[in-house]
Amino acid sequence: MKKFFAFTVLLILLLIGGGFLARTTLGWNDGMREARSEIHATTLNGKLYVAGGIGLFRVLDSCEALDLTSNSWSGCGKLPRALHHVAMAADDRHVYASGGYVALPFEADQEAGLFRYDPATSAWTEISKLPHPIGQHAMTHFDGALYLIGGQDDGTDLNTMWRYDIAADTWSAMQPMPTARHSHAIARAGPLVYVTGGRSTEFGSEMKQVDAYHLTEDRWENLPDMPRGRGGHGAFVSNNRLHIFGGESLSAGKVLADHDILDLETMQWSAGEPLDQPRHGFAVSDKEISGDITIVGGGARPGMETIYSVTGTAQTLAIDTIE
């Protein structure tokens, strides 16, 4: 009996050690204090903020901030509850987090809170209730308001665009998206928000559609489809070019590293520098530094395999700024 017990303990230790070694060798562990996937990020005062997400076999309530100049991580308080697929945005004073799921795989947060983080106090506060529970959505800030884009509510794909006036604490329904979707990526440049890819019941798990929303005009327009459909990816706009990178193909069962670029003048697609490591469900800085953007966390394996392949890595991606 003692030999069996000792063997079992040794086996467990070897599995843990082997798993740690594999994670380290594969580059899954460097950077964050807690590796995580199914996350969004926002930037405030030179720091990239990430809150919640799926950790190793669990849902997280922690928040971390990456100083984009010193490349150092620090804590930033805990969310009021553990959540994954939380959308994030920032104004010039605060960080905001909205919606998400409270359990694995996708149990919606019925409290549907909108939270605000104050860097001065390092505390999160619930400031409003969302119009309804929502997850796998995106959020951006523009001119004193937050905009919540798409997502799912109780498994139903959404084409909604909600506007939250921060000062007035009021919600307004804006012109809906042409295509309902979740697990999409967004990128904002001034008064334009680009919504890319994602998933839906109608179009499947690798959508190619790209739409642009005019924030000041409350209207949508369609742009050329992506060369390759994807969900759980990243997007960024720089120098009148829309960059799409990473994500996953659930039909092929793989995580992607490739990078497509849409020239917003010619409306032609081209290929860019791929990610160093394929990822999905990662977070992207919404500011560039010296022509690079920063990508943090994400899952190294597709679908729900993310629960054991969550990463804490920070990658940089060169954004072409040549006229």
Domain chopping of the chain, boundaries: 1-30, 31-318
Percent of the chain with pLDDT over 70: 89
Query: What does pLDDT average to over the chain?
Result: 91
* DSSP states of 83-147: -BS-EEEE-SS-EEEE--EEETTTEE-TT-EEEEEETTTTEEEEEEE-SS--BS-EEEEETTEEE
Residue 32 and residue 219: Cα distance in Å, rounded? 39
pLDDT at 26: 54
pLDDT at 28: 64
How far is C-alpha 277 from the geometric centre of its chain's CA atoms? 16
Q: Is residue 296 within 8 Å of 32, Cβ to Cβ?
A: yes
CA distances in angstroms from 148 to 36, 172, 219, listed in the order given? 22, 11, 15
Q: Is residue 199 within 8 Å of 206, Cβ to Cβ?
A: yes
Give the N- to C-terminal CA distance of the chain in Å, as an integer.
73
pLDDT band at 286 (very low <50, low <70, confident <90, very high): confident
Mention the CATH class of domain 31-318.
Answer: mainly beta
Is 90 exceeded by the pLDDT of residue 35? yes
Q: Please give the average per-residue pLDDT across 297-303, as a whole number.
A: 96
Question: Two tokens at 119?
Answer: 């860097």
Question: Model-level pTM?
Answer: 0.91
Is 60 exceeded by the pLDDT of residue 292? yes
pLDDT at 319: 86
pLDDT at 289: 84
pLDDT at 287: 86
